[in-house]
Amino acid sequence: MRVADKAPMVERILNTADRLFYQRGIRAVGVDLIAAEAGISKRSLYDYFPSKEALIEAYLERYTLPLPQIGASPAAQILGAFDRLERMFRQDGFRGCPLVNAVAELGAGCEPVRSIAARFKEERRAWFRARLTEAGLVDPDALALQLLLLSEGAIASMLVSGDAEVARGARDAAAVLLRSAGLDA
């Protein structure tokens, strides 16, 4: 197999790992199972990833992709992000944020994972900040953090309670904070 053919196989392995890791937890899923579900032998899987840890990190890295941009007012984009959250909540198999879950599960002593998750959350916060700057806010830092806290809180609450309505609560709170900062949707 040529190198050019490796990428799709890597993708297939990562799709399988994603599904299993996210649904059952990272430590609960063995390499044998991932290989079997991906339709390759364990021996071949270790040709693509040198260790389970490398596979875990690749699985988490995939989530650090930028959010889509919708052509609307900044405040509407922000509230739209909470609507998107609610749609995610209502999808079957939602089980919280994979990155937060990984940090929670792997615990102390797994610094690479924490670092990937921190980078991801910083990106999300920067997205809020960029929207607020677009809207003309001169000091968007504090508000961007607060919006991030609302979405993180909604994700954690949804994971525990299973009630997708929490997204609506987060959206309403975000609207109050935005209005209090002088922004209207």
Partner DNA sequence: CTGCCTCCACACCGGTCTGTGTAACTTTAG
Partner DNA sequence: CTAAAGTTACACAGACCGGTGTGGAGGCAG
- 80 or 96, CB closer to a copy of itself? 96
Q: Which two tokens mark 182?
A: 């002088």
Residue 1 contact partner, candidates a copy of itself, DNA, none, CB within 5 to 8 A by sort of partner: DNA
Secondary structure class of 49 (helix, strand, coil): coil
Contacting residues toward DNA, per CB under 7 A: 1, 29-33, 39-44, 46-47, 50-53
How far apart are alpha carbons 84 and 147 in whole angstroms? 14
How far apart are alpha carbons 114 and 5 in whole angstroms? 32
Q: Interface with a copy of itself by CB under 8 A: which range of 43-51, 54-62, 111-119, 130-138?
A: 111-119
73 vs 2, 69, 104, 137, 168, CA distance in Å? 47, 11, 36, 13, 20
Under rule CB under 8 A, how many of the chain's residues touch a copy of itself?
49
Positions in 125-144 near a copy of itself (CB under 8 A)? 142
How far apart are alpha carbons 127 and 77 in whole angstroms? 10
Residue 156 contact partner, candidates a copy of itself, DNA, none, CB within 5 to 8 A by sort of partner: a copy of itself
Positions in 30-89 near a copy of itself (CB under 8 A)? none
Residue 43 contact partner, candidates DNA, a copy of itself, none, CB within 5 to 8 A by sort of partner: DNA
How far apart are alpha carbons 12 and 91 in whole angstroms? 22
Among 45, 81, 132, 150, binds a copy of itself (CB under 8 A): 150
DSSP code per residue over 2-45: -GGGHHHHHHHHHHHHHHHHHHH-STTS-HHHHHHHHTS-HHHH
For 39: left if phi > 0, alpha if psi spans -120 to 50, otherwise beta; the answer is left
Among 103, 132, 135, 183, binds a copy of itself (CB under 8 A): 103
- Residues forming the site for a copy of itself (CB under 8 A): 23-25, 27-28, 93, 95-97, 99-101, 103-109, 114, 117-118, 121-122, 142, 145-146, 148-157, 159-162, 166, 169-170, 172-173, 176-177, 180
